[in-house]
Amino acid sequence: MPVPLQSQSTSSDAVFVEAVGRRLAEVLDVHLQRAETISASARPMVESIARLSASGKRMRALLCWWGWQGAGGEPDHPGILDAAVALELFQAAALIHDDVVDRSDTRRGAPSVHRSFESLHRRSGWRQDPAHFGVAAAILTGDLCLALSEELFAEAAESVGTGPAARERFNTMRFEVMVGQYLDVLDEVEIPAQDPQVALDRARTVLRFKSAHYSTVHPLALGGILAGAEPTLLSAYDAFSLPLGEAFQLQDDLLGVFGDPEVTGKPAGDDLREGKRTELVAHAMDLLSPDEGAELDARLGDPQLSADQVARLQELLEHSGARARVEAEVSDLGGQAVAALSELQVPATVHEGLSDLAQRILSRRH
Amino acid sequence: MPVPLQSQSTSSDAVFVEAVGRRLAEVLDVHLQRAETISASARPMVESIARLSASGKRMRALLCWWGWQGAGGEPDHPGILDAAVALELFQAAALIHDDVVDRSDTRRGAPSVHRSFESLHRRSGWRQDPAHFGVAAAILTGDLCLALSEELFAEAAESVGTGPAARERFNTMRFEVMVGQYLDVLDEVEIPAQDPQVALDRARTVLRFKSAHYSTVHPLALGGILAGAEPTLLSAYDAFSLPLGEAFQLQDDLLGVFGDPEVTGKPAGDDLREGKRTELVAHAMDLLSPDEGAELDARLGDPQLSADQVARLQELLEHSGARARVEAEVSDLGGQAVAALSELQVPATVHEGLSDLAQRILSRRH
């Protein structure tokens, strides 16, 4: 199981993270009752959202909260708590569908939602194909979760009086992450670009839209927009959050290949079996000999890769120098984020909170 | 191909239906450009939404428009056009995911979205599994379409000044249809209820939440709410739209078994292969001899049913008297809808428009 974020965080962070968890449970309990008025058989939809969203690093919620405070918002306003919870629900929805798309069996150290619906089917002795039922139920549950996230976000934005501007940014976030995920899937199946620079550019587009904007840039900006931030503050936020988000995703790419399954909660080499065309892979294709490059290219995306084959691909990514390149990039981007943060005109508590959060993100192990 | 609705509709209907098509194309064109700023490779996401939503009966759009006018709204207000277009986009999103869930190959006489992405994969000579790529791309495209529908609806509601109330009803609609769809899938795999009344009740719950509320009740009410309708008018709308929506879905169930593929745009007996536990099936299980009931039960949901087997199940549903029972129900519900309509206090043009629409719905052949 992932190490809980709270243990490493400042005390105000920890208080907010706890409040997010409580409010999430409360909101989902209302929806559970709402589902039950239709049919008790619908409970597993809401229950699976509750189970999935009970854990998580709450990075987006925290960034939204600090972004709000940096623009003068009161830290304990119920509207910002709900907006943060809405971001966590959006993330849960994205994960539910992402795991179907990536055929991932586990998430946060537990079975992914489609796998848990598949188990429910088997346990219950139902008819037809358990795996297809799992996928169907997860698609519909993800849709429900997507709707619930937007419902809560719109209400929260309305309650703080910045509805239209905040909703517009929320819409941009959704649009970018869905398009980014599609491009990610496309990169796994398309014939890879021969030109190393084109391959790197493609990987960077996916990284930026699927992840960096979504994981750090939009959450921080949304907090600011909800509190009525001026454009200059929002630009200063971006200068910090964009390199931070890119570093976050590059580390995620490293963890997807070299991460410890005990800590990440995902099988070793998961990204290799999925065939993710990350910057790490693009660098390796550029650096490896033609034979080794062809070997990497041929094996990537084989869902049946053995542990030995995973180890061999890890070795290729390591000795090519691709891992070192990406680690250097993470360090460079981290430096840019820290430098931008030092120039951010926000109260000291916000500065400290963002600095702590950035440090945790930059030294993440899961 | 389905017969275009316009040919049977009154002239003002036809004008609005055309306006919906034009505005849909316009809105999606903006999103196509938005996608292109991320990457030209993302075009097929928006293009597949545009292709799917270019046709359709526009029943929800029309009900919303009449509901708006019945509550005093101006027929050519741009806000109601956008709200109607948003409902059509929501329907497109639901269809995209529904076809994955139901493993349907065709929709509106053309390949379903996951099948067309699968073809794109094959045509392009891409790598890995074309069918899985199709499903993955359709999940993400459906998510995008869901987000776009909500984005447009919220803006439209805001523009007419009834944002929060209209959004609340929109949220109820989404919640009910997603839960209803899950219950529909569940009914296909669960061991059928032995008690005929329980089986009928289950089928009626799915029919009501997945379809009747969604297809007629909420669209008409949304139009009214957008125009600031009083609760008494909304109740009167429901008295008309609920039986109408139930009749609509019961006919859909009949068409799913007995419909002409040339007219419905779906293969003959599609619902039988999917194993839909409709009221039609519940009545047949109640009416058939134990042997014939067991035969129907065993064959339902077999995706490999041959044309002869489909014909045999059609015969069972026919000679059991189940078809006649459902047809009688449709007629009865139609009568209730017409009676409720005659008491509706709305301008004559609205009355006439709803009456025409109800007649088309009640005599639908696709």
Tell me the DSSP string of B137-180: HHHHHHHHHHHHHHHHHHHHHHHHT-HHHHHHHHHHHHHHHHHH
State chain A's mean pLDDT as an integer.
Answer: 93
The confidence score (pLDDT) of residue B275 equals 87
Q: Do residues B45 and A183 lie in contact, with contact meaning Cβ atoms separated by under 8 Å? A: no
Which residues 1-20 of A are in CB contact (within 8 Å) with B?
none
Q: What is the pLDDT of residue B11?
A: 66
Number of H helices, E strands in chain A: 17, 2
At a CB cut-off of 8 Å and minimum separation 6, what does B76 contact?
Answer: none
The top-scoring range by mean pLDDT among A263-277, B146-160, B248-262 is: B146-160
- The mean pLDDT of B138-165, rounded to a whole number, is 96
Q: Is A190 on the interface with B (CB under 8 A)?
A: yes
Say what the pLDDT of residue B363 is: 87
In chain A, where do the E strands start and end? 106-107, 110-111
Q: What chain A residue is nearest to B181 in terms of C-alpha separation?
A: A140
* A53/A95 Cα distance (integer angstroms): 10
Interface of A with B in 205-264 (CB under 8 A): 205, 209
Query: For residue B7, what pLDDT is reported?
Result: 39
High-pLDDT (> 70) share of chain A, %: 97
Mean local confidence (pLDDT), B122-133: 96
On chain A, the residues whose CB falls within 8 A of the CB of B174 are 144, 147
Domains of chain A: 5-362 (1.10.600.10)
The answer to whether the Cβ–Cβ distance between A97 and B139 falls below 8 Å is: yes
Q: Is residue A103 pLDDT above 50, yes or no?
A: yes
| Chain A residues lying within 8 Å of B144, measured CB to CB | 174-175, 178-179, 182
Q: Sign (positive/negative) of CA torsion A169, A107, A327, A194?
A: negative
Q: What is the C-alpha to C-alpha distance for residues B162 and B157, in angstroms, rounded to an integer?
A: 6
Contact B92, B61 (CB under 8 A): no
Output the six-digit token pair for B358. Answer: 């109800």
Mean pLDDT confidence for B1-13:
52
The two tokens of residue A221 are 């900006």
> Where in chain B does DSSP place strands (E)?
106-107, 110-111
User: What DSSP string runs through B67-128?
Assistant: HHHHTT--TT-HHHHHHHHHHHHHHHHHHHHHHHHTT-SEETTEE-HHHHHHHHHHHHT-SS
**How far is A227 from B350, CA to CA, in rounded Å?**
44
Distance from B286 to chain A by nearest Cα, in Å? Answer: 21
Lowest pLDDT segment from A62-71, B258-267, B307-316:
B258-267
At A83, is the secondary structure helix, strand, or coil? helix
Q: How far apart are CA B61 and CA B20, in angstroms?
A: 8
Query: Is B190 in contact with A139 (Cβ distance < 8 A)?
Result: no
What is the phi-psi region of residue A104: left when phi exceeds 0, alpha when psi lies from -120 to 50, beta otherwise?
A: beta
